Amino acid sequence: MTSNISDYYKPLTVQVAQEDDGKQVRTVLERRLGVSRTLQSRLKLTELGITLNGQRAYTSALVRAGDELTIRMEKESSDDILPEPIPLDIVFEDDDLLIVNKPAGIVVHPTHGHYTGTLANGVVHHWKEQGWRVRFRPIHRLDEDTSGLVAIAKTPYVHQQLSEQLQAGTVKKLYRAYTYGWPLLDKGTVDEPIDRDPDAPHIRIVTAEGYPSVTHYEVGARYASAAGGASMVKLKLETGRTHQIRVHMRHIGCPLIGDGMYGPTDGGVAEWEEASGRQALHAETLGFVHPITKQWMEWNASLPPELVRLEDVLNRLN
C-alpha cells in the first residue's frame, strides 16, 4: 500500500447531505457519485482509496451529515503498449478525458497482428511526453477503416461513468456514410439482429438468432449518374454491434462505397471506390455528459480529405 498522494489521480469529494446521515459509505458513494460496487472494491485496496474526513474508511462505515467523503484512484499506465510518436488529431483533452479524431487505416487498440502503429500506441506516447501516468481506456472503438471521433477515459471512474451512459443509450453518436443505391425512405430505422456468420466468424450477418441491433438513418443527399445511384446518409446508433452500420446498410440494399467486406459483389463503381480509398464511413459527432463536471459536451469532426474527394466526385457525376 502507498500513502504518497502523487500516486493518485485527482480526488473526488462529496459532502454528506442530511438525507444520507447514518447511511453506509457504500450507499453514499453509489447515490452521490455513482461509484459501482466493482470500483468500490478496487478503491478499498489502497490506503487513500476511500477516506472519510481525511481518514481511511471502509465501505461499511457510517457517515454523518456534513462529513467529507473522498475517493482517490491510483495512477495506472499501459505498460504493455509500446509508445510510438504517431500524429494525433486531438479534439479535446482535460484531466479526465481525451477525444481524438481517428484517421482511417489505423486500429484503435493493439490486437493480434496489430501490436504497433495503433491509436493506443500514439496516445500512450503523447501522455509519456507530457509526463503523465495514464492507462489507455477507450470508451468505444471504430473499425480500422472508419474515421472519426473516439473517446478515451483517463481514470477507472470516468470509464465506468461513460460506459454506463453508453449502455443507457444517452451518448450521442452520429455517423456519415456514402452508399450505393437509394434507401426506400428518406428517413427510417433498421431493427435487425446481428451475429457472426457461422461460415466466416470474422463477418457479421443479419440473423434471427442474433443480438438486437438498431440503426436510425436519414438520407442527406441522393446522387444519380450513368454509373448508378448513390446516397449520403446520416446515421445514429441505438446499439453498438461490430460492423453494425455496414451490415445494416447492406441489408437494406445500400452497401457502403469502398467497403471491401460488405460492399457490392461486383466491386462497385471504380471511380467511386478509388476516390474514397476505403469504406466511406465517418463518425462525425460525439456527445455526452462529462462525468466530472456533469455538463453536456459535444464535438464534431469534419470530413477527411478522401471523403471530401468522394463527395466531389458524386456531385460532379450527379
Domain covering 5-71 in this structure, CATH number: 3.10.290.10
In the chain, DSSP assigns E strands to 12-15, 50-52, 55-56, 68-71, 90-93, 97-102, 137-138, 147-153, 172-180, 187-191, 194-197, 200-206, 214-225, 228-237, 281-289, 296-300
3-state secondary structure of 227: coil
Whole-angstrom Cα distance, residue 40 to residue 47? Answer: 13
Altogether, the residues listed in the chain come to a count of 318
Contacts with 122 (C-beta within 8 Å, 6 or more apart), sequence order: 84, 85, 86, 87, 88
Quickly name the fold that domain 90-168 has.
Answer: Pseudouridine synthase (3.30.2350)
For the segment 225-269, what is each residue's pLDDT rounded down to a tens digit? 777 899 999 999 988 899 999 999 999 999 999 999 999 988 899
Where are the domains positioned within the chain? 5-71, 90-168, 172-317
Structural element, H or E, at residue 163 = helix 156-168
For the segment 141-185, what is each residue's pLDDT rounded down to a tens digit? 999 999 999 999 999 999 999 999 999 989 999 999 999 999 999
Active site residues: 143
For the segment 118-129, what is each residue's pLDDT rounded down to a tens digit? 999 999 999 999
Contacts with 190 (C-beta within 8 Å, 6 or more apart), sequence order: 213, 214, 215, 216, 217, 248, 249, 251, 252
Cell of 297: 459536451
3-state secondary structure of 249: helix
CATH pick for 172-317 out of 3.90.25.10, 3.30.2350.10, 3.90.440.10, 3.80.30.20: 3.30.2350.10
Structural element, H or E, at residue 120 = helix 119-130
pLDDT band for position 1 (cuts 50, 70, 90): very low
Query: Helix %, strand %, coil % for the chain, to 5?
Result: 25, 30, 45
Cα pseudo-dihedral 136, 215, 267, 273, rounded to 10: -60
Domains 5-71 and 90-168 share a fold: no
Whole-angstrom Cα distance, residue 1 to residue 171? Answer: 37
Cell of 233: 446518409
Neighbours of 281 (CB within 10 A): 29
For the segment 31-80, what is each residue's pLDDT rounded down to a tens digit? 999 999 999 999 999 999 999 999 999 999 999 999 999 999 999 999 99
Angle, alpha carbons 177-183-187 (nearest 5°): 85
Whole-angstrom Cα distance, residue 272 to residue 196? Answer: 29
